[in-house]
Amino acid sequence: MLEGYLRRDGRKGIRNVTAVVYLVECARHVATEIVMPYRDQGAQVIGFPGCYPNDYAQTMMERLCTHPNVGAVLLVSLGCESFNRFRLEKAVAESGRPVTSIVIQRAGGTRSSVDQGRSWVAEQIKALRATPRVPMDMSDLVVGTICGGSDATSGITGNPAVGRAFDRMGAAGAACIFEETGELIGCEQIMAARAATPELARALVQSVNKAAEYYATLGYGSFAAGNAEGGLSTIEEKSMGAYAKSGAAPIVGLIKPGDIPPTGGLYLLDVVPDGEVRFGFPNINDNAEIAELIACGAHVILFVTGRGSVVGSAISPVIKVCANPDTYARLADDMDVNAGRILQGDGLDAVADEIHDLVIDVAAGTPTKSEELGHAEFILTYKSFDPIGPACLPG
């Protein structure tokens, strides 16, 4: 039986992270130095680099700092940035988590801030060992999936295997979130046919149309040179492969970054900003999308890659599903599942079962390869979103 760390809001975490949060790029070094001695004890760095306020960034940080995998939060401010640290600190305090702030300009500079931060983090790591553990099962889990570094094998092995695992986890009550609308262009009508309601079907189509218009304005789609070198030929071909990781279950909701699924089932995460093109590319790399999945409550991320990616993430563990057997042979130390063996005769269901069982093992505390290697990447940029409407959520 699984056991989770019980939080005041009733959610349960599978990790007990002490998050050290920089509120502007100028405070990142101090935050990193604070965490350095405690990297192997659950302390991790996240933050927002911008000096100008942004509602999206504020919401993201509030969701991340109150994620069920987070047990305590240290905010690190330079002192003159525009980020609303008071609102963030209040949100964390109201969630029942220990929280404090260090303002570098008031604390005496780098050395003094690092010393104060390390002292506080050490205290919290010790105190968090007493966090209550309670029974937890699949219906308590939120699982996200992303694909990156895709090649021609991704849509044949890794993504379909994750889709089958999603079907099984969703049927057991888990909330399963797939993304991104910019890599689903051409699949909008197929997704609409799976929507739980006609209203949701229209919202799904609109979200993909928005992505197509956004990328057309930018003059560059979600298709990298590495995708072509890996054998993918068109955005439509890449979309069909990316779509496969959604499985075959009905789609019950459409959410945006920071929206937490209210029930189990399958959700699409719309990561393309609303309104005019203002902040450039919707996500500058895969870790930006991982952060958005985590902000929606994802306890664990399934990352499918054909070309190979070695990144992990802060807050929630990343399980690497390698689609290409040759890539797996080269990067076995970074990969958790060899889905490429499907090309060598193993069944799709066998790999899906391995993914499903590994999610349970990781939820129970087994570290992923990226966790063992110390990967805890994080990035957050500027965006703007409109609130979702009632048609986007289960009735």
> What does the pLDDT look like over 52-101, one tens digit per residue?
999 999 999 999 999 999 999 999 999 999 999 999 999 999 999 999 99
Q: Residue 139 CB: number of other CB atoms within 10 A?
A: 12
**Tokens, residue 238:** 């890449």
**Phi and psi, residue 370, nearest 5°:** -65, -35
**392 DSSP assignment:** G
Check: CB of residue 211 under 8 Å from CB of residue 182.
yes
> Mean of the per-residue pLDDT values for the chain?
93
- Quick check: 198 pLDDT over 80? yes
User: What value does the mean pLDDT take over residues 31-36?
Assistant: 98
**Tokens, residue 331:** 């990067």
* pLDDT of the residue at 11: 96
CA distance 50 to 42: 26
* pLDDT of the residue at 327: 94
* pLDDT of the residue at 153: 86
> What does the pLDDT look like over 301-339, one tens digit per residue?
999 999 999 999 999 999 999 999 999 999 999 999 999
Check: CB of residue 337 under 8 Å from CB of residue 324.
no
Alpha helices in the chain (DSSP H): 28-35, 55-65, 85-94, 104-107, 110-128, 158-171, 188-192, 198-218, 225-229, 235-243, 286-295, 325-330, 348-363, 369-372
**72 DSSP assignment:** E
> What does the pLDDT look like over 248-296, one tens digit per residue?
999 999 999 999 999 999 999 999 999 999 988 888 899 999 999 999 9
The distance between the two most distant Cα atoms of the chain, rounded to a whole number of Å, is 63
Scored b (16 or more CB within 10 A) or e, 321-347 reads: bbbbbebbeebeebbbbbbbbbeeebe
Strand partners, 6: 12
* pLDDT of the residue at 180: 81
- For the whole model, what pTM was predicted? 0.95
User: Which position has the token pair 């209203």?
Assistant: 199
Scored b (16 or more CB within 10 A) or e, 222-259 reads: bbbeebeebebeebebbbbbbbbbbbebebbbbbbbbb
* pLDDT of the residue at 281: 86
> What does the pLDDT look like over 205-253, one tens digit per residue?
999 999 999 988 988 766 555 555 655 555 666 667 788 899 999 999 9
Domains of the chain (ranges; CATH) run 2-134 (3.40.50.2300), 138-392 (no CATH)
**Tokens, residue 24:** 């502007």
